[in-house]
């Protein structure tokens, strides 16, 4: 069985979908840890309910990004990790994490990359009036949402309002992320 660590900053629905897929043997792996950079993130509550340990660490408590990431690397070094899954982790991964884990960090992004990188990708796409939305799972490197693409899934815009569109997207995203993790493992 493989070992996963998931990073999240907010709601954590992707984290929960991955964790439940592991618990239900849909992924032959275990989520060892949730790493979260926001003390009030709902993802932490989800981890608690699933009995998964959280490591909550705020960049504000460190003098630099390197120091913040060193604290995460210190924590992670006690685990034997096969894959790190970013799931709504709203920070660019820096040198400390990349130098240790590049090649085994993947991310999900709510657009068909390379379109609409960065924050509020769905809003960006909606402002453009795009008719085909999508999700991209990619390897993480030092660029913003620019690492090599592993999987993409598109779906048509049906005139939904943005809240409904986000719900549709999350549902498709959860499945794509689980399928992609399985393929990588």
Return the active site residues: 109
Q: Strands of 53-56's sheet, edge to edge?
A: 53-56, 29-36, 2-8, 83-86, 105-109, 132-139, 149-156
Count Cβ atoms below 10 Å from residue 161 Cβ, excluding itself: 8
Asked if 121 is part of the footprint of ligand GAR (rule: CB under 6 A), the reply reads yes
According to the binding rule CB under 6 A, does residue 8 interact with ligand GAR?
Answer: yes
Only one of the segments 4-12, 26-34, 46-54, 61-69 lies at the binding site for ligand GAR (rule: CB under 6 A); that segment is: 4-12
Q: Which stretch binds ligand GAR (CB under 6 A): 48-56, 66-74, 107-115, 126-134?
A: 107-115
Give the DSSP letter of residue 8.
E
Is residue 108 close enough to count as binding ligand GAR by CB under 6 A? Answer: yes
Least distance to ligand GAR, CB of residue 135, Å: 7
Peptide bond into 140 cis (omega under 30): no
147 binding ligand GAR? (CB under 6 A) = no
Binding ligand GAR (rule: CB under 6 A), the pick from 4, 6, 7, 14 is: 14
What are the DSSP E strand ranges found in the chain?
2-8, 29-36, 53-56, 83-86, 105-109, 132-139, 149-156
User: How far is CA 36 from each of CA 21, 109, 172, rounded to the nearest angstrom?
Assistant: 20, 17, 23
Nearer to ligand GAR, 18 or 77 (CB): 18
When computed from its CA atoms, the radius of gyration of the chain, rounded to whole angstroms, is 16
Q: Can residue 173 be called a binding residue for ligand GAR (CB under 6 A)? A: yes
Kindly state the smallest distance separating residue 119's Cβ from ligand GAR, in Å.
Answer: 7
Q: How far is the CB of 34 from ligand GAR (least distance, A)?
A: 11
Residue entry with tokens 């498709």: 172
Binders of ligand GAR in range 42-101 (CB under 6 A): 87-88
Q: Binding to ligand GAR by residue 21, rule CB under 6 A?
A: no
Q: How far is CA 105 from CA 89, 125, 164, 184, in A?
A: 12, 25, 29, 11
Q: Which residues are at the interface with ligand GAR (CB under 6 A)?
A: 8, 10-14, 87-88, 108-110, 121, 145, 170, 173
């Amino acid at each position: 069985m493989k070992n996963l660590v998931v990073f999240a900053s907010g709601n954590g629905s992707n984290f929960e979908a991955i964790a439940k897929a592991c618990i239900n043997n849909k992924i032959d792996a275990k989520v060892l840890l949730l790493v979260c950079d926001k003390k009030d993130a709902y993802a932490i509550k989800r981890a608690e309910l699933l009995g998964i340990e959280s490591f909550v660490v705020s960049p504000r408590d460190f003098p630099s990004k390197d120091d913040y990431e060193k604290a995460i690397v210190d924590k992670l070094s006690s685990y034997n990790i096969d894959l790190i899954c970013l799931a709504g982790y709203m920070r660019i991964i820096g040198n400390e994490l990349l130098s240790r884990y590049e090649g085994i960090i993947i991310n999900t992004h709510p657009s068909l990359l390379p379109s609409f990188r960065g924050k509020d990708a769905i809003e960006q796409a909606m402002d453009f009036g795009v008719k085909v939305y999508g999700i991209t799972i990619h390897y993480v490197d030092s660029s913003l949402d620019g690492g090599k693409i592993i999987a993409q899934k598109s779906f048509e815009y049906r005139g939904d309002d943005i809240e409904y569109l986000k719900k549709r997207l999350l549902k498709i995203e959860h499945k794509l992320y689980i399928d992609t993790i399985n393929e990588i493992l």
